[in-house]
Chain A
């Protein structure tokens, strides 16, 4: 993926909401492209800027302005200030613009007085199903709950902000940012009504010590549920902080935990909870609004409809309701996949898309998403083997290789992977980090789970390999859901020393950064400090400085480190400042 392609797919939503293959490609590009990383940060900041509520009365003013201009043409563009000039019965015009048509119907305006509304075009653009109401202020929230039309209890959520009782200023700020991001994304779901920052439910610290031992759900106390019911909210969303941001949705009547999620501490330069909040809002919407069975039937029909484009058909696979599909997380998980969804007919369609679609992107996407569902079917495995051997497109073969990793114990699969690892025609990618060649993907996929850590260790120690290949297994985000960290490898301490020595000698800043990023997951070792301090204070590449800072934040007991981190708060790079802000104690 190049820079322009990345920008083409960057919408208002975070990268996390992209289809898996696009997401992986985007991340890989971002790992290597400083400029695009910077663009992404500023873009997401801009998207996340809070917007006020649409002023109540704006429509009335516009209506008055329109009527006033009809009654008394004005030069000024501010006719609303002369609303007093409105004339009763001003609608004397002969033409009826839209007759008996819904407001979002197509326009076919003429001056004919009897024109009938044209039917909406078959493919309308513009009307998004989740138009975004603005984030409310507390005033708006109060007004919304005390006046207005009938409230739909089931679709109303009271959001509570509950940082840990022991939270310091940094954690409280984190809770605020996460809370605001979540509330904002929930407001994008038009069918939901969100009550946030309500004066009757102010921010309050939370501690597990206050939860009774027999409580079924610590995330919805009887008091909070009572407040929710009084505010006519059928659900309570509890946002807390504990090594990150946690959000738990409960029923305000029964106290039952409906769902939720958590995200680790947002990294500086990342999207500051935007992706987490987007996904959370989507999943909450699914749970509250959608009947999973209906969704499933709709997506099946789309997938099987050969009258649609291939991209539309494969898109159905990306949108299977999460509640029904129970995607397994790790390669070794054998959780049941969408029970009943992948029947003979659906599988035949999937195989056809993966092997015969004219679009390489569709073929690649098909293999990527199939990986998520872990479908145990020999015909599918055969199709993947065929694709690995014969598809003309590198990316398709790479995706097939990763997916075949889940079938490595099936007859012929390991042999096919080993053959591709040795003979595939693709060259090693030119980018430094993280895009796997077909050979690399096939080699990795052929490694069984119980030998993975050992393989990572041996690869790292193999000095005949290029540095990139040695460090790549320690990079997270690989497509097979497996990665090893220096913190959890049995040989972690020895491996950390090897990574350190690779990094200290590496002149290529991207590889040096890669080494420091891997080292940041190792147990702290004082021997690393002098080299890292030197990098933090004087390396010309800001990402190397930031990576060094990240490791050094584990050594703040060392006075030299403390001083260097304090100085790094004034580093010219936002990346570096973001790492150290909040990590250095105020003196």
Chain B
């Protein structure tokens, strides 16, 4: 990548890595994939830098690159969210939880993870940014979506999440229950 001071660029991104990783983890629900996504976003951002014309805060720009990468499907999850959680149970439950509590917590998280995985990537990205506390104006700048359209998309995204989560959590009725 000619024409770029990588050391300086690397210093530029360092203060924003926490924010990038958090958003990436919310998206991918998997530590390894989140690291990859952040790394890819930084590399892509560096590649774009030579032709960059816009102005704006660095973090917004980095998040925009990451958002576009994710939504475009440039990253594919290596493992399913469920597999990832099974590999990292300590992140889900409190270290002091009893086995029963751990099981309950993991089950609840598993259901949420599965519901999340069924969302469109566009919805996932918007919800992840909102969950990280970014305002509508900030998300609008990151995603290049006008505020009115953004409101509607967030509304739809939350509805989708609810619908998928309810489907995950609705137990299959027993024959007796079904006949009530």
Binding site for B on A (CB under 8 A): 3-4, 7-8, 10-13, 35, 38-39, 41-43, 45-47, 49-52, 54-55, 58-59, 61-63, 65-67, 69-70, 73, 77-80, 90-91, 93-98, 103-111, 118, 120-121, 124-128, 130-134, 137-138, 161, 169, 172-173, 176, 179-180, 188, 197, 202-203, 538, 570, 572, 574
Contact = CB atoms under 8 A, between A and B. Distances in A.
B55 A107 contact: yes
A12 B130 CA distance: 6
B43 A77 contact: yes
A78 B25 contact: no
Contact of B21 (A49, A55, A67): A55
Nearest to A133: B18
Nearest to A7: B155
B50 A103 contact: no
Given A46-B116, A52-B25, A118 B169 contact: no
A110 B109 CA distance: 46
Interface residues of B, number: 90
Interface string B98-110: 1011001000110
Contact of A108 (B38, B55, B131): B55
A13 B135 CA distance: 11
B31 A80 contact: no
Contacts of B52: 107, 109-110
B133 interface: yes
Contacts of A41: 162
B36 A78 contact: yes
B146 interface: no
B112 A46 contact: yes
A161 B95 CA distance: 12
Interface centre among B1, B94, B100 (most CB of A within 10 A): B94
Nearest to A9: B136
B151 A8 contact: yes
B55 A128 contact: no
Contacts of A103: 11-16, 58
A173 B55 contact: no
A62 B42 CA distance: 7
A46 B25 CA distance: 12
B35 interface: yes
Q: Is the interface of A mostly helix, strand, loop or mixed?
A: loop
B159 interface: yes
Given A121-B57, A172-B101, A197-B94, 18 more contacts: A3-B155, A11-B130, A12-B133, A59-B17, A62-B38, A66-B6, A70-B2, A96-B8, A97-B5, A97-B9, A98-B12, A104-B58, A106-B55, A107-B58, A128-B134, A203-B96, A570-B174, A572-B177
Contacts of B11: 103
A47 B131 contact: yes
Interface in B108-165: 108-109, 112, 115-116, 127, 130-138, 141-142, 151-152, 154-155, 158-159, 161-162, 165
Given A77-B43, A574-B169, A93 B5 contact: yes
A77 B171 CA distance: 42
Contacts of A574: 166, 169
B94 to A, nearest CB: 5
A525 B50 CA distance: 76
Given A107-B55, A131-B18, A572-B171, A169 B100 contact: yes
Contacts of A105: 58
B71 interface: no
Contacts of B152: 4
B3 A51 contact: no
Nearest 9 pairs between A and B by C-beta?
Answer: A126-B60, A126-B57, A63-B10, A109-B52, A12-B133, A66-B6, A54-B21, A7-B155, A42-B162
Contact of B97 (A54, A176, A538): A176
Nearest to B101: A173
Given A51-B26, A90-B6, A46 B18 contact: no
12 contacts: A4-B151, A8-B154, A43-B127, A59-B17, A62-B39, A62-B43, A77-B40, A77-B43, A93-B3, A96-B5, A97-B49, A572-B173
Q: Is the interface of B mostly helix, strand, loop or mixed?
A: helix
Nearest to A99: B8
A87 to B, nearest CB: 11
B10 A62 contact: yes
A61 B38 CA distance: 11
Interface centre among A4, A59, A108, A179 (most CB of B within 10 A): A59
A91 B6 contact: yes
Nearest to B37: A77
Contacts of B56: 106-107, 121, 125-126
B54 interface: yes
Nearest to B138: A125
Interface string B53-68: 0111111110100000
Contacts of A161: 96
A67 B42 CA distance: 12
Given A77-B36, A128-B134, A42 B58 contact: no
A109 B51 CA distance: 7
Given A39-B158, A62-B10, A50 B132 contact: no
A10 B126 CA distance: 13
Nearest to A47: B131
B171 A7 contact: no
Contacts of A46: 112, 116, 127, 131, 161
B8 A61 contact: no
Nearest to B44: A77
Nearest to B19: A131
A45 B112 contact: yes
Contacts of A570: 171, 174, 177
Contact of B42 (A66, A94, A188, A203): A66
A10 B5 CA distance: 41
Nearest to B155: A7
A127 B57 contact: yes
A73 B131 CA distance: 36
Contacts of A13: 133
Contact of B3 (A94, A107, A127): A94
Nearest to B111: A45
Given A70-B4, A111-B50, A132-B133, A52 B158 contact: no
B57 A104 contact: yes
Nearest to B90: A137
B115 A42 contact: yes
B59 A127 contact: yes
Contacts of B154: 7-8
